[in-house]
């Protein structure tokens, strides 16, 4: 295989982005409409607080909507809404979206929301969630989307930190087997919070929640969305500084208060538009589908903003990969709406594979329009990669990035220069990211040697501008581990071809009798077994070795195996591929693995329970607490 890091197009772009970021990114910024074009790309006068396009002014909402309408493309679909749980479908053109966003921005302005004010959005996956976000951007206000269905104490914490003037919510969300009313959670959160927003605006769902009435909350008025916009004047886009915040998105750690990641306007718009063209190969008019939620960073970046910045059509899907109604749900949506790209989490692909390992459902649909399947959120293990590649007959591309970065750190740049795909690797560092592998002391490690993945400052535009109202935590969390670097918290290596391998969080590296071993490597081996749908390996305390690896596996649908026989086979596989040094001997078949709603397996929580810790903190983002309860006896066994 030739070395992609020396191939002309990618190599030139990456090298220039690092050695001359001003020239590179100012040129890229020409793809955005500015009210005041920037003359400087990056201001490094106050490291580690780098600011992008500091003398530029723009409006993100204008760039997402108005300019496409003005260019004569108002009749093109901006959003296609497809609700597998209600059967509702709707197409919203760019012209229609402009009208909806402008008038809702007017409704927010009537409640006193202006430039720099905050609005908390607590919504299900419906188009009005995106409308609310874009309306905030239109006013120069700062939105903070909280995943719909978060518990009241978590919502209250975010209300107190962001101090919003208005909350935008809905009657509730709809799961495959239940409905989740939001009013009780919002009312309880307002009672718990010290800060009192002036208003709650409700995007009604009377067909799904016919008997809901507005709660009484002291100091806060409740208004129906339609009523609010009926008296509103459409608002024009407000120019803001490129460095002004566009949104706050809270990451939920397992300890302490959530961190409010701040995204700016200018760097965000430039980076996301560039990523759509160059990473995802998306062009104006393409139909793009990110199967995520607006409550997560993937939803912010690649459902709401990035597709519209380049004039594409974005699908808003309310449903699951399985169970709405079956394991063909994703293929039905992609086929029906002629999606050219699908972006989802590896967990979703594994769930589909578990239910339909032979791809029977997939074969029912015409996926000729689909060019690429993109994955991010957790490591795309080689076995899942091979399964999806074989069944789809399309490139399956891993992405590695974080809430903090807002867009990929490493990927296969399908629009700039497609590269050979290596199973288990998200390919190469994206232009703008000067990625290094460091040892514990911050020294660079040679190719192929595993260590800490860190990004030399400045990071690319569009990455976190800081943490909301907490500069000290921004530095201590990310910038103080290695001097002059952003610490990703992930471990991995870069091979001799320049390909990046992300093996998991650095706290998922275990120490077995003095040997540092990656649980991610063991999971990758176990996942190759034909009966295994999902696997998690954690390190638990061992009096002799310090730690020992223990595996937990979920079997594919229809698989019935003798547990002891399966354990022996998995142990033999790990011994064969990693060696006896792994001392992998324990593996248990379980019904499910605990995950966050975005698909990350809660390995740290599992490890705490297995080690018998008393104060185990379960993240508020857990998808189904019952899975963890069911697993606990096995962890403590």
Dihedral angle, C-alpha 314, 316, 320, 323, nearest 10 °:
-110
In sequence order, what are the residues at sequence separation of 6 or more whose Cβ sits closer than 8 angstroms to the Cβ of residue 549? 510, 512, 517, 519, 522, 537, 538, 539, 582, 583, 584, 586
Residues of the chain with pLDDT under 70: 1-8, 252-256, 507-509, 511-517, 543-546, 579-581
Pairing relationship of beta strands 396-398 and 372-375 according to DSSP bridges: parallel
Q: How far apart are CA 431 and CA 43, in angstroms?
A: 18
Distance of CA 133 to the CA centre of its chain: 16
The answer to whether the CB of 257 falls within 8 A of the CB of 157 is yes
The answer to whether the CB of 249 falls within 8 A of the CB of 264 is no
Determine the pLDDT at residue 619: 82
Determine the pLDDT at residue 177: 85
What are the residue boundaries of the structural domains of the chain, listed by start? 4-319+399-493, 513-636
Per the listing, tokens 């460091």 go with: 438
Query: Read out DSSP for 397-464?
Result: EE-B--TTTSS-SEE--TTT------TT--BEEPTT-EEEEE-TTS-B--TT--EEEEEESSPPTTS-
Cα dihedral across residues 78, 307, 374, 393: positive or negative: positive
The answer to whether the CB of 65 falls within 8 A of the CB of 310 is no
Determine the pLDDT at residue 109: 98
Determine the pLDDT at residue 111: 98
Q: Measuring CA to CA, which residue among 263, 292, 252, 299 is closest to residue 153?
A: 252
Determine the pLDDT at residue 280: 98
Determine the pLDDT at residue 511: 63
Per-residue pLDDT tens for 221-245? 999 999 999 999 999 999 999 999 9
Q: How far apart are CA 315 and CA 302, in angstroms?
A: 10
Tokens of 13: 């772009």
Measured CA distances, 572 to 105, 565, 582 (Å): 61, 11, 11
Per-residue pLDDT tens for 287-302? 999 999 998 899 999 9
Q: Do the domains spanning 4-319+399-493 and 513-636 agree at the CATH topology level?
A: no
Query: Read out DSSP for 355-403?
Result: H-TT-TTGGGS--TT--EEEE-SS---HHHHHHHHHHH-S-EEE-B--T
CATH classification (class only), 4-319+399-493: alpha beta
CATH classification (class only), 513-636: alpha beta
- Show the CA angle centred on residue 141, arms to residues 139 and 143, nearest 5°: 125
Distance of CA 218 to the CA centre of its chain: 35
Query: Read out DSSP for 448-494?
Result: T--EEEEEESSPPTTS--EETT-HHHHIIIIISSSTTEEEEEEEEEE
């Amino acid at each position: 295989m030739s070395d992609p890091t020396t191939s002309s197009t990618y190599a030139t772009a990456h090298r220039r982005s690092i050695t001359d970021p001003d020239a590179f990114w100012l040129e890229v910024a020409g793809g955005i409409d500015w009210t005041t074009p920037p003359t400087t790309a990056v201001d490094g006068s106050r490291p580690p607080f780098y600011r992008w396009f500091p003398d530029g002014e723009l409006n993100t909402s204008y760039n997402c909507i108005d300019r496409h309408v003005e260019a004569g493309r108002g009749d093109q679909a901006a959003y296609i809404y497809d609700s597998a749980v209600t059967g509702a479908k709707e197409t919203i053109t760019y012209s229609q979206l402009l009208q909806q966003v402008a008038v809702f921005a007017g409704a927010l302005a009537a409640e006193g929301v202006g430039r720099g004010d905050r609005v908390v959005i607590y919504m299900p996956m419906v188009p009005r969630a995106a409308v609310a976000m874009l309306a905030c951007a239109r006013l120069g206000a700062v939105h903070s989307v909280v995943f719909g269905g978060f518990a009241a104490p978590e919502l209250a914490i975010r209300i107190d930190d962001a101090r919003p003037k208005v909350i935008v919510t809905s009657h509730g969300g709809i799961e495959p087997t239940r409905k989740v009313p939001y009013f009780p959670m919002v009312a309880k959160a307002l009672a718990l919070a010290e800060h009192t927003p002036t208003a709650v605006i409700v995007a009604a769902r009377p067909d799904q929640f016919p008997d809901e009435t507005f709660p009484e909350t002291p100091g806060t008025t409740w208004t129906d969305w339609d009523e609010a916009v009926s008296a509103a004047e459409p608002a024009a886009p407000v120019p803001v500084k490129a460095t002004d915040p566009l949104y706050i998105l809270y990451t939920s750690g397992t300890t302490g208060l959530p961190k409010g990641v701040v995204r700016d306007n200018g760097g965000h718009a430039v980076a996301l538009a560039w990523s759509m063209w160059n990473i995802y190969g998306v062009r104006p008019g393409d139909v793009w589908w990110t199967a995520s939620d607006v409550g997560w960073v993937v939803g912010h970046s690649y459902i709401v903003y990035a597709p519209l910045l380049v004039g594409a059509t974005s699908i808003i899907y309310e449903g699951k990969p399985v169970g709405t109604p079956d394991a063909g749900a994703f293929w039905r949506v992609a086929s029906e709406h002629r999606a050219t790209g699908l972006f989802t989490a590896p967990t979703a692909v594994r769930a589909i594979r578990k239910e339909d390992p032979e791809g029977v459902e997939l074969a029912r649909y015409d996926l000729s329009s689909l060019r690429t399947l993109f994955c991010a959120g957790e490591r795309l293990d080689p076995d899942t990669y091979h399964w999806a590649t074989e069944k789809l007959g399309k490139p399956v591309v891993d992405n590695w990035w974080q809430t903090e970065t807002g867009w990929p750190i490493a990927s296969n740049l399908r629009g700039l220069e497609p590269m050979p795909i290596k199973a288990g690797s998200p390919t190469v560092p994206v232009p703008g990211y000067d990625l290094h592998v460091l040892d514990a002391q911050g020294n660079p490690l040679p190719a192929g040697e595993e260590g800490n993945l860190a990004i030399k400052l400045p990071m690319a535009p569009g990455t976190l501008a800081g943490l909301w109202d907490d500069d000290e935590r921004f530095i201590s969390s990310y910038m103080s581990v290695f001097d002059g670097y952003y610490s990703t918290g992930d471990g991995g290596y870069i091979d001799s071809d320049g390909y990046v391998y992300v093996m998991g969080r650095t706290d998922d590296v275990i120490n077995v009798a003095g040997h540092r071993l990656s649980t991610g490597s063991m999971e990758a081996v176990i996942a190759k077994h034909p009966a295994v749908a999902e696997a998690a390996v954690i390190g638990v305390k061992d009096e002799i070795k310090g730690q020992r690896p223990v595996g937990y596996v979920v079997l594919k649908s229809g698989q019935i195996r003798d547990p002891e026989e399966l354990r022996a086979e998995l142990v033999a596989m790990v011994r064969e591929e990693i060696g006896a040094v792994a001392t992998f001997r324990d593996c248990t078949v379980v019904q499910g693995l605990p995950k966050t709603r975005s698909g990350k397996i809660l390995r740290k929580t599992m490890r705490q329970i297995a080690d018998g810790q008393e104060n185990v903190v379960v993240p508020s983002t857990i998808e189904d607490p019952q899975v963890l309860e069911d697993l606990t006896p096995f962890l403590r066994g």
